[in-house]
Structure 1
Amino acid sequence: MHSTPAEFNRKISDIARWTDSLGFRGLLIFTDHDVVDQWAAAQMLIQRSERLVPLVAAQPPYMHPYTVARMVTSLAYLYGRQVDLNLVTGGNRYRLRSIGARLDHDERYDQLVEYGHVIRRLLTEREPVTHSGRHYDLTEATLPSPLPADLLPRMFVAGSSSACDKAQQELGVARLRYPAPLAEYDPGAGELEGTGIRIGVIARDTHEEAWRVARKRFPDDRDGARLHKVASRLSDSAWMQELAQEARTAGDAESAYWLQPLRTFREYCPYVVGSHAEVGEVLAGYADLGVRTVILNVPEDEDDLGHAALALRTAVSSRS
């Protein structure tokens, strides 16, 4: 966390207001050692908004599946609001080991499958839940309040490895991933069918204005580039390795798909930069490949998010 509590509260309140006013569904809340607890942030967002749905990262080493289910039902009871779940394994081996999580990459996804099944059973079954598995044991577990059917969370799993693909199929949920450039996908392969993508957007009225904003926000940074190389070596996340390789080899031409924010260690996702029409065309291309959820990276301000919303509407209108 790199802000004071007052600054953080103000930013959370602003983003919640922007999200509601521009008609977005919700906000992704991730988890890591150096950010505020995701459930505390989710509650703040609910209190400061009227409609948005927090998409909360749920990671086995941080929280037992029973506690996740109890948090979902508690927020539904207190506020009458839905919370979605992003099931994640974590990619930084050293941070995982610091809290005693020593499973390797594929084993973490095996655990995540069991984690998701237990959470779903607790949220949907009306009888006490008994479960005996490799990672979790429950005996006639019950929640303090039932979850209304219309507040059942949408569930996602995050990753791009074969282990994640297997977990997605076993859980029957949508997968979130960082996208490659459109040209790298075979339109007939169905690789992105039903998935969600996380991507940054810098859109403006013209191509030139968008790129002025982009280069001012993410200038060249040698120190950041070195940090990015170190961070990529510490991670066993398949998608971070793929993006790191892409960032090392990609040029810096003003193509819509841009990796400078990742290359300089300022952000963790690709960006799409251009006019509303140019960005809309790229987003429509992902939709044509089967993408059904778009998670935008954190906006700079309300105007920034407003321009992204215009680009998204352009994408939608181009497909209607």
Structure 2
Amino acid sequence: MTPPDIEFIGMIGTQDSSETRPARGPLIDPAYTVRFARAHEDAGFDRILIGYSSGRPDGTQVAAHVAARTERLGLLIAHRPGFIAPTLAARTFATLDQFTEGRVAVHTISGGNDTEQRRDGDYLSKDERYERTGEYLGILRRAWSGTEPFSHSGTHYRFEDYAPAVLPHQESGIPLYFGGSSEAAYRVGGAHADVFALWGEPLAETAEQIAAVRAAAEAAGRAAPPRISVSFRPILGPTQEAAWERAHRILETIESGAGRPFFDQARHHRPGTFADGPQNAGSQRLLAAAARKDLHDRALWTPTATASGAGGNTTALVGTPETVARALLDYVDIGVTTLLIRGYDPLDDAIDYGRHLLPLVRQELAHRASASASAPAPTSAAPLTAGSTR
């Protein structure tokens, strides 16, 4: 992992598709899926996120396919509690973790949209879903932490004498990532998550959410709070002008509807789909930031969130690699430890991030670590430049 323990996560799909163009090829394209994953491994990403919706292929099987054809790349599998028993989920993920020698992590999504949940038969309310998630994650932790049989009788789950014989590869268990931006999400994720995932909001609002997560963790009696992930869609160019020209082309393409099949497959919503707007707090927060102004802080650009209905991590960081690297480091400076980045041209952008963006962030973090280790007082950092070998 990048010093000082900064993690880079990308995202893959099983089909060449995006908000900016119609899908190409079959929904499950095995060769493309492997090429996409290997591009991230070659680019130096630590993990790849494999998404979840009622219209996507099963994530654990996608992860198994990718794991057999990569060497070290971590697998972050999105998972919604409620559709399989937590004991079965514990065995499923632990089995894959053993075969991959510890490369599995689980990204828990309680579900922010009633219509999407009902496609798979879930009719609980949002608050009930978060309550169920808390119970579910507690069971996963226990199933992964020992070999003694145990029973459970809770609000949503009941079983007797479960014997956790299938354990994760490492004694520390399988990392649990958690997404959400509501008070219920802070409460449950603050109590259970190893990493709490947020979408790319302005720095001030992100700092407020980090404080809320840490307060929830403290209220739950945790000794240390979850680490924090933030997600962006970087749009790079060799110059500032080129980057902004590309950003506006991407925006125009999203607004044209060329990528509508992507939204339908992923069950994202576009403006007007719901009379009252998106139900989930994360999308509401992105749209609120976009309503205030287009450009925030150093490089955060929000019109792409508005154009896509904020149906996911849809805010962009626009600029040269140096500008975007500095913007990412701004978030590191307020406590972010994981950077989830994916492009609007998914495969090509992953390659470009590995060539031009990740090295700059890594070099600056290594420089900071070296300076901190060698000097008792803070030192001024030299300017970030492409190709720097600091």
Q: Same fold (TM over 0.5)?
A: yes
Q: Distance in 1 between matches of 2:213 and 2:155?
A: 31
2:331 to 282, 286, 290: 286
For 1:61, the equivalent position in structure 2 comes to 82
Which stretch shifts more, 279-288 or 293-302?
A: 293-302
Report Cα offsets for 1:118-175 as digits up to 9, x if no partner.
Answer: 1111111211231111111121112453333257211111101111111023215321
The alpha carbon displacement at 1:89 in A equals 0.9
For 2:113, the equivalent position in structure 1 comes to 92
Percent of paired sites with the same residue: 25
Q: Distance in 2 between matches of 1:188 and 1:222?
A: 30
For 2:283, the equivalent position in structure 1 comes to 240
2:179 maps to amino acid: A
Gaps of 5+ in 2: 1-14, 16-22, 215-226, 261-268, 370-390
Q: Distance in 2 between matches of 1:290 and 1:176?
A: 12
Task: Say which SS state the counterpart of residue 84 (structure 2) adopts.
Answer: coil
Q: Distance in 2 between matches of 1:196 and 1:6?
A: 29
- Is the CA contact 2:178–2:197 (under 8 Å) kept in the aligned structure 1? yes
2:56 maps to amino acid: V
Query: What is the TM-score with the length of structure 1 in the denominator?
Result: 0.88
1:258 to 269, 282, 301: 301
Q: Distance in 1 between matches of 2:177 and 2:297?
A: 32
Report Cα offsets for 1:179-204 as digits up to 9, x if no partner.
Answer: 31125456998457631111111234
Number of aligned residue pairs: 320
Task: Say which SS state the counterpart of residue 109 (structure 1) adopts.
Answer: helix
For 1:126, the equivalent position in structure 2 comes to 147
1:175 to 190, 196, 205: 196
Q: 1:74 to 1:253 in 2, by over 3 A?
A: closer
Which stretch shifts more, 186-195 or 134-143?
A: 186-195
Q: Distance in 1 between matches of 2:294 and 2:238?
A: 25
Q: Distance in 1 between matches of 2:60 and 2:207?
A: 38
What does residue range 1-320 of structure 1 map to in structure 2 within 5 Å?
A: 2-5=23-26, 8-143=29-164, 145-149=166-170, 152-184=173-205, 190=211, 194-219=227-252, 221-222=254-255, 224=257, 228-231=270-273, 233=276, 235-251=278-294, 256-265=299-308, 268-269=312-313, 270-298=315-343, 299-301=346-348, 302-306=350-354, 307-313=356-362, 316-317=365-366, 319-320=368-369
- Is the CA contact 1:283–1:315 (under 8 Å) kept in the aligned structure 2? no
Q: Distance in 2 between matches of 1:283 and 1:248?
A: 22
Q: Distance in 2 between matches of 1:147 and 1:42?
A: 16
Query: What is the TM-score with the length of structure 2 in the denominator?
Result: 0.73
Task: Say which SS state the counterpart of residue 50 (structure 1) adopts.
Answer: coil
CA RMSD of superposed structures (Å) = 3.0
Q: Between the two structures, name the one with larger relative contact order (CA 8 Å, sep ≥ 6).
A: 2
- Is the CA contact 1:202–1:273 (under 8 Å) kept in the aligned structure 2? yes
- Is the CA contact 2:294–2:303 (under 8 Å) kept in the aligned structure 1? no
Gaps of 5+ in 1: none
